[in-house]
Amino acid sequence: MIEQRVSVASDAAQLPVLTRFLKEFWSAAGLPPAESAKFELALEEVFMNVVMHGSPAPGTQVEVSVILRDGGLTLMVENDGPAFDPLLLPAPDVAASLEERKVGGLGVYLVRQMMDAVCYQRVAARNQLRMTKRLPTGGASPRVAPGV
Amino acid sequence: MFEIQMGPAGEVVMAGRLDATQCDVALRFLNTVPKLRVIDLGRLEYIASMGLRVFLLTQKRVKGLGTELKLINACPQIHDIFRYAGFDRIIDISCASA
């Protein structure tokens, strides 16, 4: 298992820091480049949700962990804000016409499309969102479970 | 890094990462382009929901002016994001290989 962790302020300007953290983890672990953007997207969506909806005040910290285990990668985003489960947000109508399309609401929907599993927990007065996806090849662990 | 500029044939050219920190830059630029129609995504490497929002707002705006966006040269990964979001139903988008 490989795990790395970073902590940034709950501020949109910190997004490039998180992206760089993920990219550095990706190349150091030798993970398949084609899969990287899905995790970058998931991280951006969840982080921006915390920035826009989940933080009581500027300067609140957001912790991001990346865990590579058994051929799968888990992204975990935690913060101290009030309880906020983004998975309860209503799903967007992706078949709506241009006139009916609402601006926003797509982030969590896209994360669900990109990841194999997404779950929210309230743990010790913290919001914790875990996103996991199996990597097709090139993961560091030889113990890749069968099936996709 | 994200870049947006006018191309030689009057199209808008985007390159790099259109992440949440760059959306205002993109929208401000697009709002200044007269007769906006074609946007070349050939060098756009990354987009997420906030980036999609730029295209939705712009499509709504130009539709009100009687025209529609045409997004060209999207790489498969970018095209997939538009498709997952159902944006291929409301914005004309074509792939680089199409």
DSSP reduced 3-state for A4: strand
Strands A126-134 and A117-123 turn out to be antiparallel
Polymer length in residues for chain A: 148
Quote the minimal CA–CA distance from A63 to chain B in Å.
Answer: 19
Cβ contacts (< 8 Å) between B84 and chain A: which residues? 94, 109-110, 113
The whole-model pTM stands at 0.91
Contact yes or no for A45 and B56 at CB 8 A: no
Domains of chain B in start order, with CATH, are 2-95 (3.30.750.24)
Name every residue whose Cβ is closer than 8 Å to that of residue A16 and which is 6 or more positions away in sequence.
Answer: B19, B21
Strand, helix or coil for residue A101: coil
Distance of alpha carbon A56 from alpha carbon A38, whole angstroms: 28
Partner-chain contact B63 A19, CB within 8 Å: no
- What distance in Å separates the CA atoms of residue B94 and residue B40, rounded to the nearest whole number? 10
Residue with tokens 């997939």: B80
Q: How far is CA A44 from CA A7, A67, A122, B1, B2, in A?
A: 14, 17, 20, 15, 16
Sorted by where each starts, the structural domains of chain A and their CATH numbers stand as 2-134 (3.30.565.10)
> Number of residue pairs across A and B with CB atoms under 8 Å?
64
CA of A113: how far to CAs of A87, A110, B81, B83, in Å? 13, 5, 9, 11
- Tens of pLDDT along chain B (98 residues) come to 999 999 999 999 999 999 999 999 999 999 999 999 999 999 999 999 999 999 999 999 999 999 999 999 999 999 999 999 999 999 999 998 65
> What is the ipTM for the molecules in this complex?
0.92
Contacts of B61 (CB under 8 A, 6+ apart): B31
